Amino acid sequence: MHERETIESAEVLAIGTEMLLGELVDTNTAWISRRLAALGVGIYRHTTVGDNLGRIAAALQEAASRADLVITTGGLGPTSDDLTNEALARATGRRMVEYAEAREHVERKFREFGRKPSPSNYKQALFPEGTTLIPNPLGTAMGALLESDGTLFATLPGVPQEMRGMFEETLVPLIRERSEGAIVSRTLWFVGLGESALAERVQDLLDAENPTVAPLAGQGKVRLRITARAATPEEAEGQIEPVAREILSRLGRYYFGEDEETLESVVGRLLTEKGRTLALAESCTGGLLAKRLTDIPGSSRYFKEGLVTYSNEAKERLLGVPRELLVRYGAVSEEVARAMAEGVRRLAGSDYGLSVTGIAGPEGGTPEKPVGLVWVGLADAGGTRAEKLNLTAWSRSREAIRERSASGAFDLLRRRLEGKI
């Protein structure tokens, strides 16, 4: 690469007929976009096209007319449907040539898997002339870096793990080197208040130019992203710090973590730090609480066991919830949430017992106990507490109610572990 233009803007192009037909939801584009935004690169458009040479080439040219950097994912495999590098050659008026390094890479990868490449696999050694290869330690598909008319093209595979590694190893250093100054972002996560209530409390900060503060919402959690632009990363960090402090002075009681943290990862970290253990008793979430907790590698350190007691009979028999409570108050009640938490704590011999009982719908609601009524309970050595979550308004899907119920339960435990309640 001889031209060395600054990279200020980028577009992402996802390639694959399965995505176009909706058979596969593309998560690569969102991932790349988050990384680009964190690096301070502006993103103005995403495009998806199918496995068609002419349409890929046209989309590449259009993107190049608008952006400094065009990143593609998909279409680097060995089959006749994999056309990305050939389309890049057409879009930039180059011919395809074989790269010995890529040919050796294909052969080496096949040896590692104990197989022999078929002739079609050598297609993955062909790239537009003038390409710089992007190493792929995990798979056979190397990527191409190609500068043409002031636009830098990068082709990455569709397999998320391979794509991510190649982006981090090769593209991130390149983007940093060709960015003017440094951009640093920090995301603060909040729970227990809505996006508009949050925005109102920091309205004055949302109008600032540098650092910028932007609210983002999703699945019952809200975020504020602080982004600073400065000559060095350290200087940008220094600009973020007082803004973060100001935000936390106003909204600290709703704050639970930053950047890649989740409620369950924060709970896991706190349990690990304190050497405490947890057991779960779930009704309406039906295993989602345990699933989210065990999404985290190493959760066996603090997670003892989880009981999905869907029926009243199971609540009684396994957790020892008194039949009288079930009859008098019903399964979805403060009393039963408390008894479930106490029961699972006793059964597991854990430090904490956390419970959820509610009506996830779409059926099963009544005027007194509508769909979206959920109780969460927490038992520990200091006693038992329960909280009511009201998820009836604006969020009526079974999935949304279950996800928010799980978040509400984890948040109750988080506040307890942090000594806030």
Q: Which of residues 66-95 bind a copy of itself (CB under 8 A)?
A: none
Nearest to 409 by CA among 288, 303, 253: 288
Neighbouring-strand partners of residue 255 = 190
Contact track, a copy of itself, 161-200, x by CB under 8 A? x---------------------------------------
CB under 8 A: which stretch of 68-76, 80-88, 262-270, 304-312 binds a copy of itself? 304-312
Distance (Å, whole) CA 101 – CA 89: 19
Task: Rule CB under 8 A: choose which of 9, 48, 132, 179 binds a copy of itself.
Answer: 48
Distance (Å, whole) CA 192 – CA 72: 38
List the strands of the sheet with 255-258, edge to edge.
212-218, 221-230, 182-191, 255-258
**CB 188, CB 214: distance < 8 Å:** no
> Where does residue 273 fall: left (phi above 0), alpha (psi -120 to 50 degrees), or beta otherwise?
alpha
Q: Interface with a copy of itself includes 306 (CB under 8 A)?
A: yes
Q: Interface with a copy of itself includes 123 (CB under 8 A)?
A: no
Tell me the CA distances in angstroms from 178 to 54, 151, 394, one per residue in order: 31, 12, 45
HSE-CB of 134 using CA atoms within 13 angstroms: 31
Long-range contacts of 244-253 (CB under 8 A, 24+ apart): 244/186, 244/188, 246/205, 247/188, 247/202, 247/205, 247/213, 248/188, 250/201, 250/202, 251/190, 251/193, 251/198, 251/201, 251/202, 253/192, 253/420
- For a copy of itself, the closer of residues 46 and 178 by Cβ is 46
CB of 265 to a copy of itself, least distance (A): 14
CB of 282 to a copy of itself, least distance (A): 8
- For a copy of itself, the closer of residues 169 and 399 by Cβ is 399
CB under 8 A: which stretch of 26-34, 95-103, 123-131, 231-239 binds a copy of itself? 26-34
Q: Two tokens at 22?
A: 């909706």
- For a copy of itself, the closer of residues 238 and 298 by Cβ is 298
> What residues between 363 and 382 interact with a copy of itself by CB under 8 A?
363
CB of 267 to a copy of itself, least distance (A): 15
Q: How many Å from the N-terminal Cα to the C-terminal Cα in the chain?
A: 59
> What residues between 318 and 347 interact with a copy of itself by CB under 8 A?
318, 347
Q: Interface with a copy of itself includes 32 (CB under 8 A)?
A: yes
Q: Two tokens at 328?
A: 């008098």
- For a copy of itself, the closer of residues 236 and 371 by Cβ is 371
- For a copy of itself, the closer of residues 37 and 172 by Cβ is 37
CB under 8 A: which stretch of 95-103, 125-133, 172-180, 394-402 binds a copy of itself? 394-402
HSE-CB of 348 using CA atoms within 13 angstroms: 25
- For a copy of itself, the closer of residues 54 and 242 by Cβ is 54
Cα-based angle 380, 258, 418 (whole degrees, multiple of 5): 20
CB of 287 to a copy of itself, least distance (A): 3
H-state helical runs in 11-99: 17-20, 28-38, 53-66, 84-92
Q: Interface with a copy of itself includes 49 (CB under 8 A)?
A: yes
Please work out the total of residues on this chain that contact a copy of itself, with binding judged by CB under 8 A. Answer: 75
CB under 8 A: which stretch of 80-88, 118-126, 144-152, 358-366 binds a copy of itself? 358-366
- For a copy of itself, the closer of residues 61 and 132 by Cβ is 61
CB of 100 to a copy of itself, least distance (A): 26
